[in-house]
Amino acid sequence: MGELAITGGPKAAATLEVPEWPQLNDSSRQYVEAVLESGNWCRNSDGADACDRLEAAFADYHDAEHAIAVSNGTVAIELALRACGVQPGDEVIVPSYSFIASASAIPTVGAVPRFVDTNVETYNIDLEHLEERITDRTVGILGVHFAGYPMDMDRLLPIIEEHDLFLIEDAAHAQGSEWCGEKVGTFGDFGTFSFQETKSLSSGEGGIIVTDDDVLADRARLMHNIGRRQGATGYYHYRLSTNARLSELQAALALGQLETLEAENQTRERNEEILLAELADIEGIQTKPRDERITARGYCIENFRYDSAAFDGLPRETFIEALQAEGVPVGEGYEMPLYRQPAFYREEVGRLVPDDVDLPNYPTRHLPGVEELCETNITYPHEVLLAEEDGIRSVADAIRKIQANTETLLD
C-alpha cells in the first residue's frame, strides 16, 4: 500500500479533485444581472418577480401547492412552527442529531423540545422509541431527513395520525430526495429547506417553505411579510410577525441553481453507488442501508460510521487526520448530541418558555444511539460526489491504505 501521506508518502487520493462549492452557473448569473439592472431588489418592489418565479418553480419541482421563500432555513422552521399554531409551553419532538436550528427553533417560539434518540444506521429519528416521548403536551414532530436520507415515512405518518400531531419535515439537507416517488418535504404539514452556502441548492443564505394546505400557506405568507398581504397596497398588518422575506437577488441566484440541481443530484447518486460498492468490503466502515423506497437522493453531506476495532484501535481523530492527508476531505460532524449543547441548559431555554414549565435537565439525558454516532461518525461534503469516477474510487483506496498501516500511526 505504500507509506502513508501523513508520514511523507504519496497521497492515495491524489486523483480526487473535489469541485469548489458553490458553483455559479450561467442561469444564475443571467437572472441576478437582470434583477440588478431592474432596480427591483426587494420582493415588495413594483415589478419584482424573482421570488415569485422561484416559489412557482420550487413548488412545481416538489408537486406542492404552495412555496414561500424566506430569509434562511432557520426562519423557515420558526415560521412553520408558528403557522402550525404552536403555543408557549407546548412540546415538540425533535431528533437529537442535527444542526442546532432543527431544535433551537422550538424554544424560540416559546415551546419545549423533547429529544428522541437517533437511529445509528440511518442517522434519522429513532422510530422505535418515538411514541414513548409523546405526552399530553406534545403537539407535533419536527423530523429531519438527515444528510438527504429520507425518514421512514411509512412508519412515521401513522404515528402522526394516531396521535393527532402536526409534522414539519426539516429537509434542509434533502433537496431532491424522494420517498416512494414523492419528494420529501411534501408528506407533512410543512417542509422546510435551506439555501445556505454549503447546501446543494445555494443562494448564500435563504430558505423556502412548502405546503399543500391553503390555510397554513396563508398564515406563513402573512408571517414572513410582517403580517401584510403579499402584493397588497397600504400598510395593513394582520398578524404580529417579523420580516423574513428573501431578497430578489438571492431568489434569482437560487432559481438558476434549481435548474441544475437534478442533474447534479444524479451525478452524486451515481458516484455514491460507486463509493458504496468500494467501501462494502472494508471491515470497520459501516454505510447507510440501501432502501428501495428511497427513489432519489438529495445531498448536503454524507456519512459513514468508523469502527476503530477493525483498525487495531486507531482513534477516530487519528483516522480522520490520516485520511485528510491522503486527500479526502472528511470530518467528525457534530461533536455532541443536541441536548448536550450549552444552548439547551435550563437557564438558557428558560428565558424563552413560560415560567411554569418544568423543563427537563437536558444535559443529563442519555440516548445511546446518538451518543454512539457522535463517537463513530465520519462525514464528507456533497461536492465530493461530484468528482470524477477514478477520484471516487481512490477514497476507498485511501482507507485501505490506512487500515494496512495502522501500526505506523499507533507507534
Compute φ and ψ for 178, nearest 5 degrees: -130, 145
- Which residues have CB under 8 Å from 60's CB, separation 6+? none
> Within a domain: residue 194?
yes
Strands (E), 196-353: 207-211, 285-286, 294-296, 301-306
> Within a domain: residue 390?
yes
**What is the Cα–Cα distance from 298 to 3, expressed in whole angstroms?**
36
**What is the Cα–Cα distance from 273 to 199, expressed in whole angstroms?**
21
Whether 120 and 246 share a structural domain: yes
The angle at the Cα of 401, spanning 400 to 407, to the nearest 5 degrees, equals 110
pLDDT at 234 over 80: yes
Q: What kind and span of H or E run contains 170?
A: strand 166-170
The residues that are catalytic are: 99, 170, 173, 196, 199, 228, 235, 245
Distance between first and last Cα of the chain:
18
Whether 385 and 319 share a structural domain: yes
Determine the distance from the C-alpha atom of residue 360 to the mean position of all C-alpha atoms in its chain, rounded to a whole number: 26
Q: Determine if the peptide bond prior to 363 is cis (ω within 30°).
A: no
Q: Which of 223, 258, 293 is the last residue of a domain?
A: 258
**Residue written as grid cell 415551546:** 111
Whether 240 and 275 share a structural domain: no
Whether 179 and 294 share a structural domain: no
Whether 106 and 239 share a structural domain: yes
Nearest to 66 by CA among 173, 162, 185, 168: 185
Domain that holds residue 301: 5-22+260-334+372-410
Please state, rounded to an integer, the average pLDDT across all residues of the chain.
98
Strands (E), 181-283: 182-183, 190-194, 207-211
Question: What is the percentage of the chain residues whose pLDDT exceeds 70?
Answer: 100
Whether 37 and 119 share a structural domain: yes
Classify the phi-psi angles of 164: left when phi > 0, otherwise alpha if psi is within -120 to 50, otherwise beta. Answer: left
pLDDT at 176 (0 to 100):
98
Q: Which of 258, 281, 312 is the last residue of a domain?
A: 258
Whether 308 and 401 share a structural domain: yes
Count CB atoms within 10 A of the CB of residue 409.
18
Confidence of residue 230 (pLDDT cuts 50, 70, 90): confident
pLDDT digits (tens, 9 = 90+) for 252-301: 999 999 999 999 999 999 999 999 999 999 999 999 999 999 999 999 99
Whether 228 and 83 share a structural domain: yes
pLDDT digits (tens, 9 = 90+) for 106-144: 999 999 999 999 999 999 999 999 999 999 999 999 999
Whether 271 and 235 share a structural domain: no
**What is the Cα–Cα distance from 353 to 357, expressed in whole angstroms?**
7
**β-strand pairing of 301-306 with 66-70:** unpaired
Whether 319 and 205 share a structural domain: no
pLDDT at 1 (0 to 100):
67
Say what the pTM is.
0.97
Task: Provide the 3-class DSSP secondary structure of residue 245.
Answer: strand
Q: Determine if the peptide bond prior to 22 is cis (ω within 30°).
A: yes
User: How many domains does the structure of the chain reveal?
Assistant: 2
Whether 31 and 110 share a structural domain: yes
**What is the Cα–Cα distance from 271 to 266, expressed in whole angstroms?**
9
pLDDT digits (tens, 9 = 90+) for 145-154: 999 999 999 9
DSSP 288: P
